[in-house]
Amino acid sequence: MRTSNNKRWYLSLTALLGAVLCLNAQSFQESFYLRNYALAYRYNPAIVRDNGFISLGQVSASSQCNVGASSFLFPTDDGLVTGLHSSIPSEIFPGTLPENIRYRGSLNAGIFAYGFRKGNTFHTFELNARSIYGVSVPRQLFELVKLGTGSGTLGLGEFRVDADLFAELAYGYSRRLNDWLSLGARAKLLLPVCGALVDINRLSLTASEEELAIGYDGELYLTNRTFHLKTEDEASSDVPSKRSKLGILPSGAGLAVDLGLVATPAEGLTLSLSVLDLGGIYWYYGNRSATSGPIMFEGLENVGYENLNANYLKDWLVETAKGYLEIMKPVSRSDRWRWQSMPLEANLGVKYEMPFYRRLAVGATGRYLANAGLPYGEGRFGLEVNPLDWLDLTANVGYGSLGAVWGVAGAVKMGHFRLTAGLQSGFGGTIPRKIVPLAPHFKSFSFGLSYDL
Amino acid sequence: MKAHVPLLLLLSILLTASCANQAYDLDKLDKEVTLFENEISVPVGDVGPFTLELALKSEKIGALLGSVLETESDGTILSQRSAEFYRINAYEIAAKTEDLSQPFTFPVGDEDIFPASTLTGLLTGFGFGAVDQKVSVTINNPLAQAYTLGGSSFVFCIDMRSSDTTFRKAVDLKDITVRTSYSGTTKLLEADIPDNILITPYKMGVKDFSINLPADLMSQIRGASTTDFILTSNYTGHICAGNNLNFDLASLIGSISVNFKLPISSYCLKDVQVSLDLQNTLPMEVTLSDIQLLTGEEKPAADPNLEVSPGTLVIKGGSLEQPGVTPITLRIQARSGAIPDITGIQLGLKLGSASGYAATPLSIKQGISVKSASATLRGGITFSGKKNENEQ
């Protein structure tokens, strides 16, 4: 019983930490430096490649979080403890946490990409599966757990969990206008599959000896072609829970464009400017459900003396919790349409190939991500070397709104095949044998194989 | 190749900067967590009731009263007793009479009895009372013809504190004819004791009693199941708290222990304050004293490390229709360390009269329940994170 309880607490804490800290990965900035990288048009659609390519199975992911594991774990003289250990004062935990703990992640699985050059133009076709997701947890939640409530009402800020899955069908066109300027654009048809958003924008807890009252005001969006989100009134009605058997068809449509410019004003000097994911998705089969509280908990109800034992109380609490979850069912449903903007990304880069050794280049890049709730900006200085025809390496350091960052990437060419991998992360170290960063971080990862035509 | 040097240097710096920090090795994580360090109050709700019925099933009280108490369908506790207090055989009368050829009077004299049961007597000795009291005296007729009586029958109650007679009833028996009945009886006295008199009858019987018998007595004895003349007292009543209840159960049977199991040691609680409304449907004031919490798995025993304050609680009386409500704040503190697993509670129990409820009959459905209880925890709830050895 005791261990089972403990397990539950640790699992909950671990799940929360995992949700906040787990690795994910965004646009592959190092592709600005890697020479003749097949998918460089994703970074800037104006980049004109020397020759065509086919790519299968490119994967990239990114994550951003405004806290790291060191915000929750604390080394002490007696060993490593969590912020909920009694030796950690509340001024440290949760006192040093940001107002909202925010995490954003994205995943891009490239199913197929094809590009070919025709004169001064380059054309690309691409099919990707993409996912964007995020979590926002208020600091007050940890204050509640760490310190308790005292008496009165404790505002718990807002909770937000969102996740979208969609397919991306893209066509890219770039053109070298003259010796020093190229322009490019990609049009991306976005075909949404499923989207979900839980947004509890008001949550409060009033604790007193008479009752525990949870006040909440939340919205739930569940967007997909297949399922109806039933409201409380519809739960027992004939409203079908499935609206279509054709669940694989898109649940709406979207359009986004990437725009880019590449200039080479002097020999060896390259300037890059791009704006990515300008657009959004119209989710069509959207359910917007609203629900609001309060939920009152007034304790046990006439527990008999004979029932006064731990097992009965545990079972009763589980049943009570289930009952309250029932109460939180949506009470209304509306808005079939839902518009969602894509997280806009803007990139600026400059690099210069050393005249004494053209296989060595230095440069700088800047990036801004308009992520909802967690906008991110950074600048990096980079170095690239192409010592052998089949090997290209690059590394960079910089500083972003989530702290100091670094990145490395490499490409290996084997005949017509080109293997590329890159990693971006932050300083501050990680948990041993884990990939969880200790500090707030921007982290991304990219890996792919292409075939030069 | 020298151009590779800065790249290698940069890579080295990055690898160093991004390496694992051994201070954060999760294998060495102390999993102890303490929640709600300042204070948290939570409603606990309603628990109980702990009724007389449950008490009668308990080891000590049940052994004392469980087998002798009778209850009505509505749960009220009934006391009843029928007892012979005089018996004489017709042959014995004949032997003591010189001339049986003529009608004659057989003198009996004074006979009496304490009509209520021994238990009722015991309870009234502690100050309990009785309501709805009904008494009667009966006599049978073993003869084939009726007979008459002489003398009187009586019943009376005495307040033992003041020696005042609070109730008295007497019946002149000269007008009573005991008719032929092989199985039935004739009432010599019947009385309902008023409900303002909560004490049981002190004595009931006959005075200057005589039986007027027919001639040739022995020839009249035909077919009856007995040849005895029997005087019987009958008593029924419902136990109530009475006006002078002062029943210290602790002095009689010691402390009462109630065993249950609350495995809270793993939470490392140090200071728990429980606020509750005790709802009492017993028509008496209940005093709980020397409250101690029990610990220990096999032989639960009072734990001197646990301080329960206040040690004495007085709960006012009420009824099933109108329970008495007593707000109480109970604080449990561990003098050192944390509060271990609680395996029961031990307390002394004292019952006293409650104003306005003296004549309310006791029912096994009455008892004490906890309404609107809440718990305030100070110092946090600690989960040790150590593996439970009992769990695989």
Rg of chain A (C-alpha set):
26
The pLDDT, as a whole number, for residue A377 is 93
User: Do A75 and B50 count as a contact with CB atoms less than 8 A apart?
Assistant: no
Backbone angles phi, psi at B169, to 5 degrees: -145, 135
pLDDT single digits (tens) A80-109: 999 999 899 999 999 999 999 999 888 999
Chain B residues with CB under 8 Å of A359 CB are 3
Nearest residue in A to B258, CA atom: A305
What's the number of CA atoms in the CB half-sphere (13 Å) around residue A158? 15
- The pTM of the full predicted model, rounded to 2 decimals, is 0.68
Mean pLDDT, residues A38-62: 90
The pLDDT, as a whole number, for residue A24 is 31
Nearest residue in A to B385, CA atom: A6
Is residue A448 within 8 A of residue A434, CB to CB? The reply is: no
Does the structure show a pLDDT above 60 at A211? yes
pLDDT single digits (tens) B64-82: 666 667 888 888 988 889 9
Question: What is the spatial distance between Cα A286 and Cα B340, in angstroms, rounded to a whole number?
Answer: 53
User: Do A299 and B373 count as a contact with CB atoms less than 8 A apart?
Assistant: yes
Cα B374–chain centre separation: 27
Question: What is the spatial distance between Cα A414 and Cα A184, in angstroms, rounded to a whole number?
Answer: 29
User: Do A304 and B28 count as a contact with CB atoms less than 8 A apart?
Assistant: no
User: Do A430 and B18 count as a contact with CB atoms less than 8 A apart?
Assistant: yes
Q: Measured on CA atoms in the order B201, B203, B207, B209, is the torsion positive or negative?
A: positive
Does the structure show a pLDDT above 90 at A54? yes
Q: Is domain A2-293+328-452 given the CATH code 2.40.160 in the classification?
A: yes
Query: pLDDT below 50 — which residues of chain B?
Result: 1, 387-392
User: Do A148 and B42 count as a contact with CB atoms less than 8 A apart?
Assistant: no
The pLDDT, as a whole number, for residue A11 is 44
Tell how strand A286-292 and strand A212-224 pair up: antiparallel
User: Do B26 and A395 count as a contact with CB atoms less than 8 A apart?
Assistant: no
User: Do A397 and B19 count as a contact with CB atoms less than 8 A apart?
Assistant: no
Question: What is the spatial distance between Cα A352 and Cα A271, in angstroms, rounded to a whole number?
Answer: 9
Is residue B319 within 8 A of residue B332, CB to CB? The reply is: no
CB within 8 Å of chain B, chain A residues 215-274? none
Does the structure's ipTM exceed the value 0.85?
Answer: no
Tell how strand B39-51 and strand A148-150 pair up: parallel
CB within 8 Å of chain B, chain A residues 298-327? 298-306, 308-310
Prior bond of B327 cis (ω within 30°): no
Q: Helix, strand, or coil here: A431?
A: coil
Question: Mutate which of B1, B4, B14 to test chain A, going by most A C-beta atoms within 10 A?
Answer: B14
Does the structure show a pLDDT above 80 at A145? yes
pLDDT single digits (tens) A360-389: 999 999 999 887 778 899 999 999 999 888
Higher per-residue pLDDT: B251 or A41: A41
The pLDDT, as a whole number, for residue B70 is 83
**Residue in B7, B20, B36 nearest the CB of A431:** B20
Q: Set out the domains of chain B in order of their start, with CATH numbers.
A: 32-59+246-357+364-382 (2.60.120), 70-240 (no CATH)
The pLDDT, as a whole number, for residue B162 is 83
Nearest residue in B to A309, CA atom: B261
pLDDT single digits (tens) A220-252: 777 776 666 666 666 666 655 555 555 567 888
User: Do A85 and B33 count as a contact with CB atoms less than 8 A apart?
Assistant: yes
Strand partners, B273: B331, B376
pLDDT single digits (tens) A101-115: 999 888 999 999 999
State the CB neighbour count (10 A cutoff) for residue B270: 19
Residue B65 DSSP label:
I
Is residue A355 within 8 A of residue B3, CB to CB? The reply is: no
User: Do A148 and B36 count as a contact with CB atoms less than 8 A apart?
Assistant: yes
- Which tokens sit at A299? 């304790």
Closest approach of chain A CAs to the CA of B70, in angstroms?
23
Query: Which of A62-66, A287-291, B234-238, B373-377 is predicted least confidently?
Result: A287-291
Residue A353 binned pLDDT confidence (cut-offs 50, 70, 90): very high
Chain A residues with CB under 8 Å of B374 CB are 208-210, 299
State the CB neighbour count (10 A cutoff) for residue B198: 26
The pLDDT, as a whole number, for residue B178 is 93
Q: Helix, strand, or coil here: B23?
A: helix
User: Do A70 and B39 count as a contact with CB atoms less than 8 A apart?
Assistant: no
- Which tokens sit at A271? 């300037």
User: Do A149 and B377 count as a contact with CB atoms less than 8 A apart?
Assistant: no
- H-only helix segments in B28-87: 52-57, 59-61
Does the structure show a pLDDT above 90 at A348? yes
Backbone angles phi, psi at B319, to 5 degrees: -145, 175
The pLDDT, as a whole number, for residue A256 is 95
Nearest residue in B to A441, CA atom: B18
Chain B residues with CB under 8 Å of A146 CB are 35-37
- Residue A338: which H helix or E strand, with range? strand A338-341
Nearest residue in B to A299, CA atom: B45
Nearest residue in B to A74, CA atom: B24
Closest approach of chain A CAs to the CA of B338, in angstroms?
14
Chain A residues with CB under 8 Å of B36 CB are 145-149
Is residue B121 within 8 A of residue B85, CB to CB? The reply is: no
Question: Mutate which of B7, B331, B372, B389 to test chain A, going by most A C-beta atoms within 10 A?
Answer: B7
**Residue in A298, A383, A431 nearest the CB of B26:** A431
CB within 8 Å of chain B, chain A residues 21-80? 69-70, 73, 75, 78-80
Q: Helix, strand, or coil here: A226?
A: coil
Mean pLDDT score of chain A = 83
Among residues B253, B218, B248, the alpha carbon closest in space to that of B94 is found at B218
Chain pair A-B, CB pairs under 8 angstroms: 203
The pLDDT, as a whole number, for residue B4 is 60
User: Do A75 and B372 count as a contact with CB atoms less than 8 A apart?
Assistant: no
Nearest residue in B to A80, CA atom: B29
